[in-house]
Amino acid sequence: MTAQIIDGKAIAKQCRKALKGRVKEFTEQYGHAPGLGVILVGDDPASAVYVRNKEKACEKVGINSFHRDLPATATQEQVAAIIDEMNADDRVHGILLQLPLPKGLDEQAMLARIHPDKDADGFHPINAGYLAVGKEGYVPCTPKGVMTLIESTGQSIEGAHAVVIGRSNIVGKPQAQLLLGKNATVTVCHSRTRNLPEVVAQGDIVVAAVGRPEMVKGDWIKEGAIVIDVGINRRDDGTLCGDVDYDAAAERAGWITPVPGGVGPMTIAMLLENTLEGAIRKAESR
Ligand code: NDP
């Protein structure tokens, strides 16, 4: 079998187009655009590129972005003060604190400082709790985008065996919750999992979110499986690859996402969607 490619770039483009229409409607109805507050601490070049891309994406769909930069030497109190300002700013409906923060800053404390109603990334413990109990709240962007990619195959998630490799708070755990919410039978793997190849081989759906280049081998994949590769890794020659050995896995999978051009573009589209949804919730609660 040769897998069908799940074109995340094209699907994200469709999402952004639909969002642009919804943002226009919102802006006309309420007299103001949705707004995303973006906080960048330090001078990590990759983070600066991510932030710029997110802001450009906002602009293209009509969402305002409000950017604040802090130096790598910023104290916890300085970061907290900016978050508090954005929490209080009515123009801001979602707040994005770009991670990782420079060493010495307490990431969890800063994420928990963001008001749960403005938690566009869905990392606040309250929103993680809502997801765990199946209540409406903000859902982290990457796993949310992965669900759209899986749904794009037209295959039923209900009753399927989904194997998630990785248990981080930002990808693996929320991914498992979302799949469970759609009635998949979910197995979560991590660095202590025994016989990983055998576990992965049971997956009708495999989501790899590890951060190890091409770790998931082609012969681990069940014939016809849906393979979603969240990993973004740089090979020694500077080129990008995922966590899955793409060429070999594509020989067995039914559907597979490429890296780049798979999950990455969806993450940004979902951030925009979360910001709009936050703005709608706020406007409707008035
Ligand atoms: P983390 O480092 O936080 O988590 C990695 C997970 O992989 C951990 O749960 C770890 O297990 C597990 N793991 C590590 N080694 C193995 C192994 N040998 N076998 C099985 N499991 C293993 O990473 P993230 O979740 O933040 O990100 C994962 C990848 O996804 C990265 O490449 C990242 O760049 C990418 N990413 C891509 C995004 C996108 O938009 N496309 C967005 C976010 C992330 P343990 O818990 O036991 O340590």
For the segment 185-238, what is each residue's pLDDT rounded down to a tens digit?
999 999 999 999 999 999 999 999 999 999 999 999 999 999 999 999 999 999
Is 121 a residue of the active site? yes
Parse the chain into domains and list their residue ranges: 30-116, 141-264
**Pairwise CA distance, residues 89 & 96, whole Å:** 14
141-264 has CATH 3.40.50.720 classification: yes
pLDDT at 286: 74
Atom 14 in ligand 1: residue holding the nearest Cα: 191
Q: Ligand 1 center to residue 230 CA distance, Å?
A: 8
| Whole-angstrom distance, CA of residue 48 vs CA of residue 53 | 9
Known catalytic membership, residue 236: no
Which residues make Cβ contacts (< 8 Å) with residue 23, sequence separation at least 6? 33, 34, 61, 62, 63, 276
200 CB within 6 A, ligand 1: no
Residues whose CB falls within 8 Å of the CB of residue 34, separated by 6 or more in sequence, listed in order: 23, 26, 27, 63, 64, 93, 94, 275, 276, 278, 279
- Contact 267 CB / ligand 1 (< 6 Å): yes
Q: How far is the CA of 221 from the centre of ligand 1 (A)?
A: 19
Decide: pTM greater than 0.75: yes
Question: Is position 98 annotated as part of the catalytic site?
Answer: yes
Q: Quick one: pLDDT at residue 228?
A: 99
Rounded to the nearest whole angstrom, what is the distance from the C-alpha of residue 25 to the centroid of ligand 1? 38
236-249 per-position pLDDT tens digit: 999 999 999 999 99
Q: Is 139 in the pocket of ligand 1 (CB under 6 A)?
A: no
The pLDDT of residue 196: 98
Mean pLDDT (the chain) is 97
Output the pLDDT for position 27: 98
Q: Does the CB atom of residue 254 touch ligand 1 within 6 A?
A: no
Q: Report whether CATH 3.40.50.720 matches the domain 30-116.
A: no
Q: Which residue has the tokens 């639909």?
A: 18
> Fold match between 30-116 and 141-264?
yes
Please give the pLDDT value at position 147: 98
Residue 131, C-beta contacts closer than 8 angstroms, at least 6 positions apart? 122, 137, 139, 174, 177, 178, 181
What is the reported pLDDT for 1? 72
Span between the terminal Cα atoms of the chain, in Å:
54
Ligand 1: distance of its center to the CA of 209 in Å?
4
Over residues 151-184, the pLDDT tens digits come to 999 999 999 999 999 999 999 999 999 999 999 9
Average pLDDT, stretch 120-139? 97
Does residue 262 line the site of ligand 1, with CB under 6 A? no
User: Can you read off the two tokens belonging to residue 81?
Assistant: 């003060």
The dihedral sign for the CA sequence 120, 44, 264, 227: negative
Residue where the block lists tokens 């770039």: 9
As a whole number of angstroms, the distance between CA 36 and CA 133 comes to 27
Given 117, 121, 204, 243, which residue is catalytic?
Answer: 121
- Report d(CA 202, CA 145) in Å as an integer: 23
pLDDT at 126 over 90: yes
- Does the pLDDT at position 259 exceed 90? yes
pLDDT given for residue 58 in this prediction: 98
**Does the beta carbon of 263 sit less than 6 angstroms from any atom of ligand 1?**
yes
Task: Tell me the CA–centroid distance for residue 9 and ligand 1, in Å.
Answer: 22
Chain segment 27-79, per-residue pLDDT in tens: 999 999 999 999 999 999 999 999 999 999 999 999 999 999 999 999 999 99
